[in-house]
Structure 1
Amino acid sequence: MSREELCTEAEITTLVHQFYARVREDALIGPVFDAHVHDWDSHLATMVRFWSSVLRGSGTYRGTPMPKHVALPGLNPDMFQRWLALFHETTETLPNRPFAESAETAAQRIARSLWYGYQMSRDPERMPSELFNG
């Protein structure tokens, strides 16, 4: 199966909107997003383009997420773990299982990368810690 056949743009949109609905309601990470996302419609459209590029290879996303994330104050591993847990809750509801599994794998890779980048920007002399032990 090609990347384009993995899922539709509509499935990406459903994933993004359902996931961020969970994020916005979450007591731990919801306030972080609400403090930094000033236009949710624009953010959701950007995230649809991002996930379409990651999962379908659409190339519709043009951006650099790392600088935006490392600029955020006070992030910690619990927040990244919560983001992943909410993402997993969302993918569990998706009927297209190959899409759900690919999205899950990508989310884990992205969360780890952002957490490493975040730590390295704050303390470049220290080895970054893992999100999960073991």
Structure 2
Amino acid sequence: MSIEVKDIAAVSEQQIRQLVDLFYDKVRADPELGPIFERVIQEQWEPHLRKMYDFWSSVMLTTGRYKGQPVAVHKRIEGLEIGLFDRWLALFGESCAELLDSETASLFWRKAVRIAESLKFALFYRPDRPWPPIGAP
């Protein structure tokens, strides 16, 4: 299902900022994700948040502000496991539900699921192994 222009009108830059901020507050407090993010981002949270505002603005509003390579960045993260994407999605879903009306939350959620699946596939798929990986949640 694609997002239509009328759906995009329901999303604002302010909502994107609030969602990103709430989500990353949850990530930083999370016992599984927090240590990984703290190790990778260290004291660079403001630049990371600005990049995520641009990322979600590009995803949801097609602004084209994000200029990055998420697969390459995630490939360099030591200790990143496929199951952590499910935790990421759970926290993202909680953040959407707390902050947004159900329709807008659903727009973000559908995009987040596609992004997580795309990253999992790019980072962990190997043609010589079963998919999804055995033992993955």
TM above 0.5, yes or no, is yes
**Unmatched segments (≥5 aa) in structure 2:** none
Q: Does 1:125 align with 2:134?
A: no
Q: TM-score, normalised by structure 2?
A: 0.86
Deviations 1:26-82 (A, max 9, x none): 000110000001300000000000001101111111111000111212222321111
Misfit runs of 4+, over 6 Å? 130-133
Deviates more, 1:108-117 or 1:88-97: 88-97
Let me know the Cα RMSD of the aligned residues.
2.0
Q: TM-score, normalised by structure 1?
A: 0.87
Distance 1:88 1:35 in 2: 24
**Unmatched segments (≥5 aa) in structure 1:** none
Identity of aligned residues (%): 35
Cα distance, 1:124 vs. partner?
Answer: 5.3
The number of residues matched between the two structures is: 131
Counterpart in the other structure of 1:92: 97
Counterpart in the other structure of 1:41: 46
Conserved in 2, the CA contact under 8 Å of 1:24 and 1:30?
yes
Pick the aligned partner of 2:115 from 110, 119, 122: 110
